[in-house]
Amino acid sequence: MTKGMIDNFSRPLKDLRISVTDRCNFRCRYCMPAEIFDKYIKFLPKNEILTFEEITRFAAVLANRGVKKLRITGGEPLMRQNLSTLIAMLHAIEGVDDIAMTTNGVFLPKYAEELKQAGLKRVTISLDSLDDDTFMAINDRGVGVHKVLEGIEAAHQAGLNVKINMVVKRGMNEKDILPMARFFKDTSVILRYIEYMDVGNSNGWTLDHVISKHEIFDMINKEFPLEPVAPNYVGEVADRFKFKENGQEIGIISSVTDAFCASCSRARLSADGKLVTCLFSSGGHDVREVLRSGATDEEIAAFVKRIWEKRDDRYSEERLKHTDKKQLKKIEMSQIGG
C-alpha cells in the first residue's frame, strides 16, 4: 500500500490520543464516580496494557501516514511509570511534530521538568473549580485546589505550554465560571470551558445538566467583554475568544450544543490497545492483537486504513436520538481519555 494519508472523505486521520493507563488518583463525579468504579470496574492486568515499544511502533506507523499530533491521556497518564521514557520514544518518531498531554496536574511538580526534557510540548490541566469544597466534592479524593495550582506552576516553570480544561455541569460548578475567567485572564494560561458530556455509562448525564456554550459566553461577556478569534486550523474543537481588555485567549468546547463531528479527525488508542474511532463508541478494534501477531508495518497501516475508511461516527450530531432511547454501552472516558 502507499504511504498516503489515512483518509475518509473529508475526515483524514490526523490526531492520535493515546491512553497510557486505566488508573486514576481521582474519581471525578462526571467521569468515573467512585461508587460505580470501585465496585464494578476491574483494572487491567499489566500484560494486557500496551508496552512503550508497542505504543511507539503504532504511533510511528501512523506518523508515516500523516498523523502529526499525539496526545497522551488516561485515566491519569502520570500514574504510568516512567512516562517520560515513552515521551522521548514518541518524540524521536519522524513526522511527529506535536506531543501534548491531558492530566489532572497533581503529579506535575514531580514530573514536569523531565517531561519537557523528553519532548512534551504542551499540557492541558483539568481544573473545574477554584473553591476547595467544590473541587473536593468533584474529585472525591479530598484533593485541594492548591495541588493543581502547584502542578500548573510547575508546568509553566518547566516551559510547557499550558491550557486549562474546566468541565461545566449545572448544579455542580456553574458558580465557578466567572471566578475561573477572572483568575486566568491575566495569566498566559488559556482557559477552556467544556460542556458536560454523556461519556461512558455511569455519570448520570441528562441534557438539563448541560450549560451551553451560549450561556457560558453570555455570562463571561457581560462581565469581561469578549471578541471572537479565528480558528488556528480546520477542525479545532474549541471556539476561541479573547478578552477585549487584554487580548488573553479563552475557549469554549461545545460538544453537546454545537457538535463538530464533521471535522473530527481524532482516533483513540486505549491502554489495552483498542483503536476507538469515536469518544462515544461502544467498542474498539484490537490493535494489540495485530501488534503481537507479528504484523508488518504495512499490515498495521492497512488494518487502520480499513477501519478508518468505514468510519461513520457522528454521535454528538445525533446525540438526542441516542439519549431518548436505551442506548448501547459506551466505553468509559477513563479508558480512552478526552
To the nearest whole angstrom, how small is the minimum distance from the Cβ of residue 332 to ligand SF4? 9
Question: Cα(109)–Cα(22) distance, rounded to whole angstroms?
Answer: 22
Instruction: Provide the angle, in degrees to the nearest 10, between the axes of the packed helices 177-185 and 213-223.
Output: 60
Beta carbons of 240 and 230 less than 8 angstroms apart: yes
Find cell 485546589 and name the residue: 145
Q: Stretches 40-48, 57-65, 175-183, 254-262: which one binds ligand SF4 (CB under 6 A)? A: 254-262
Among residues 201, 147, 134, the alpha carbon closest in space to that of 174 is found at 134
**Per-residue binding letters, 124-163, with ligand SF4 (x by CB under 6 A):** --x-------------------------------------
Q: Which is nearer to ligand SAM, 7 or 131 (CB)?
A: 131
Q: Answer yes or no whether residue 84 interacts with ligand SAM by CB under 6 A.
A: no
Q: Which of 16, 18, 24, 307 binds ligand SAM (CB under 6 A)?
A: 24
- Cell numbers at 2, concatenated: 502507499
Burial of 41 (0-12, 13-18, 19+ CB in 10 A): middle
Which 185-214 residues touch ligand SF4, going by CB under 6 A?
Answer: none
Write phi, then psi, for 150 (nearest 5 degrees): -65, -35
Q: Report helix, strand or coil for 31.
A: coil
Mark 6-35 with x for binding to ligand SF4 (rule: CB under 6 A) and - for no binding.
------------------x-xxx--xx---
Residue 334 binds ligand SAM, judged by CB under 6 A: yes
3-class DSSP state of 331 = coil
Please give the DSSP secondary-structure letter assigned to residue 97. Answer: -
3-state secondary structure of 251: strand
- Is the Cβ of residue 33 or residue 66 nearer to ligand SF4 in the bound state? 33
Shortest distance, CB of residue 123 to ligand SAM, whole angstroms?
Answer: 9
Least distance from C-beta 332 to ligand SAM, angstroms? 9
| Identity at 144, one-letter amino acid code | G
Taking CB under 6 A as the rule, does residue 313 contact ligand SF4? yes
- DSSP letter, residue 91: H
Site for ligand SAM contains 331 (CB under 6 A): no
Contact region with ligand SF4 (CB under 6 A), list: 74-82, 107-115, 183-191, 227-235:
74-82
| Least Å from the CB of residue 307 to ligand SF4 | 14
| Residue closer to ligand SF4 (CB basis): 75 or 273 | 75
Which residue, 90, 99, 45, is CA-closest to 288? 45
Of the residues 67, 278, 300, 307, which one makes contact with ligand SF4 according to CB under 6 A: 278
**Residue 164 binds ligand SF4, judged by CB under 6 A:** no
In three-state form (DSSP H/G/I as H, E/B as E, the rest C), the secondary structure along 128-167 is CCCCHHHHHHHHCCCCCHHHHHHHHHHHHHHCCEEEEEEE
Q: Is residue 73 near ligand SAM by the rule CB under 6 A?
A: yes
Which position among 167, 211, 291, 301 is part of the footprint of ligand SAM (CB under 6 A)? Answer: 167
Q: Work out whether 129 is an interface residue with ligand SAM (CB under 6 A).
A: no
CB 125 within 8 A of CB 105: yes
Residue selected from 120, 199, 210, 301 as contacting ligand SAM according to rule CB under 6 A: 199
Cβ atoms of residues 67 and 109 within 8 Å: no
Cell representation of residue 163: 491550557
Name the residue with the smallest CB distance to ligand SAM.
338
Query: Does residue 254 contact residue 195 with C-beta atoms inside 8 Å?
Result: yes
Residues of this chain that bind ligand SF4 (CB under 6 A) = 24, 26-28, 31-32, 74-76, 104, 126, 259-261, 264, 278-280, 313-316, 334
Residues of this chain that bind ligand SAM (CB under 6 A) = 24, 30-31, 73-74, 76, 102-104, 126, 165, 167, 194, 196-197, 199, 203, 333-334, 337-338
